[in-house]
Chains A and B, each alone.
Chain A
Amino acid sequence: GIQVEQSPPDLILQEGANSTLRCNFSDSVNNLQWFHQNPWGQLINLFYIPSGTKQNGRLSATTVATERYSLLYISSSQTTDSGVYFCAVTNSGGYQKVTFGTGTKLQVIP
């Protein structure tokens, strides 16, 4: 099956700093999503971005499907950004299972 690797696995940021999280996938994909898992375990949808670039406030994401990677940018980080960030892909049409990446654990310190 498709492999989804994220980097870095762990990241500590000072509040106000910027960061880039990367997601590499081993095969072509139909869909790609970014999620934030908060400390209570809930998955929050950040972006649905099979290709192109999207922005939502301090967050933006870019997917280059032809080169099999996606990037999540966090600017002016806040302590509430702490948690685990997952990218997740589907690589066939229709209703298909989502394959999750390995995750990036982010800690933002005051």
Chain B
Amino acid sequence: SAVISQKPSRDICQRGTSLTIQCQVDSQVTMMFWYRQQPGQSLTLIATANQGSEATYESGFVIDKFPISRPNLTFSTLTVSNMSPEDSSIYLCSVEKGLNTEAFFGQGTRLTVV
């Protein structure tokens, strides 16, 4: 398994501001993934973060809005920029510890934008 620590667990932010979410894993992993879960919805992949290269974004998500850093093999950050109430969601990071293995998730960051 994997132990994933995500911070903050929740936050209430003013529109127009930015929030950076941190994800720390207990061991080195090649790929980290960031997901968004809007209220009452399923999870949607935002981007895949590989250490040492730029993140790969899914359709509908752009780097200017959701910049991602991956400085080493155990850590990543996701920033939600210039927030609006529509960004209110749960944001989760995920890792896979090997090829074709199960995915593990952090406890999530519950973001409310007012």
Contacts and interface: CB of A to CB of B under 8 A. Distances in A.
B108 A43 contact: yes
B92 A43 contact: yes
Contact of A97 (B48, B90, B105): B48
Interface in B40-66: 42-45, 48, 58
A102 interface: yes
Contact of B107 (A35, A42, A48, A95): A42
A95 B30 contact: yes
A102 B48 CA distance: 21
Q: How large is the interface on A (under 10, 10 to 19, 20 to 34, 35 or more residues)?
A: 20 to 34
Interface residues of B, number: 25
Contacts of A102: 42
Interface of A: 30-31, 33, 35, 40-43, 45, 48, 86, 88, 90, 93-95, 97-103
20 contacts: A30-B100, A31-B102, A33-B102, A40-B107, A41-B37, A41-B108, A41-B110, A42-B105, A45-B102, A48-B102, A86-B42, A90-B100, A94-B99, A95-B30, A95-B31, A98-B45, A98-B94, A99-B45, A100-B44, A102-B42
